[in-house]
């Protein structure tokens, strides 16, 4: 007997349907830079138009009735939008963590400048890849 799992076409269709309906409402990016003067930690979070209590809106919005316009106005991000938001937020967290490390004396201004340049290039490539992929991925 084989322990290999087989994913049926029906399962693949359902997985694809769920992926296409997936809505992300919050993106979080945290970074830490370790240096001679200690660790410098930065965390950013960004909430999308959402009715979730942890996104900075009032919990009373969670109590809306089905079909209520307030609920209909709050929609999450697609997976592609969430990737883009994640890359933007991640880049800012990386850059800011390095700036904090330089300001705190853990890394030199030259190390910070070099890191920021590399970070911007790396995230630019990631963003370009998001737009280079076909819609079927």
- Taking the domains of the chain in order of start, what are their residue ranges? 26-132
- 82, 74 Cβ separation under 8 angstroms: no
What pLDDT, on the 0 to 100 scale, is given for residue 1? 55
What pLDDT, on the 0 to 100 scale, is given for residue 134? 53
Apex CA 115: angle with CA 109 and CA 121, to 5°? 140
Contacts of 48 (CB under 8 A, 6+ apart): 24, 25, 26, 27, 55, 75, 76, 77, 81, 85
pLDDT, tens digit only, all 137 positions of the chain: 557 778 889 988 988 888 787 788 888 999 999 888 888 889 988 888 766 555 454 444 444 445 555 554 567 888 888 889 999 999 999 999 999 999 999 999 999 999 999 999 999 999 999 888 754 55
Helix (H) or strand (E) holding 127: helix 109-132
What pLDDT, on the 0 to 100 scale, is given for residue 76? 83
């Amino acid at each position: 007997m084989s322990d290999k799992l087989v994913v049926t076409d029906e399962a693949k269709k359902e997985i694809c349907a769920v992926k296409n309906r997936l809505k992300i409402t919050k993106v979080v990016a945290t970074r830490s830079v370790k240096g001679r003067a200690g660790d410098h930690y930065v965390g950013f979070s960004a909430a999308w138009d959402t009715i979730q209590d942890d996104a900075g809106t009032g919990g009373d919005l969670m109590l809306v009735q089905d079909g209520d316009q307030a609920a209909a106005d709050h929609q999450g991000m697609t997976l592609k939008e969430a990737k883009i938001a994640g890359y933007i937020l991640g880049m800012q967290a990386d850059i800011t963590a390095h700036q904090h490390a330089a300001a705190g004396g853990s890394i030199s201004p030259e190390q910070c400048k070099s890191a920021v340049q590399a970070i911007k290039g790396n995230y630019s490539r990631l963003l370009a890849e998001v737009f280079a992929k076909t819609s079927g991925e």
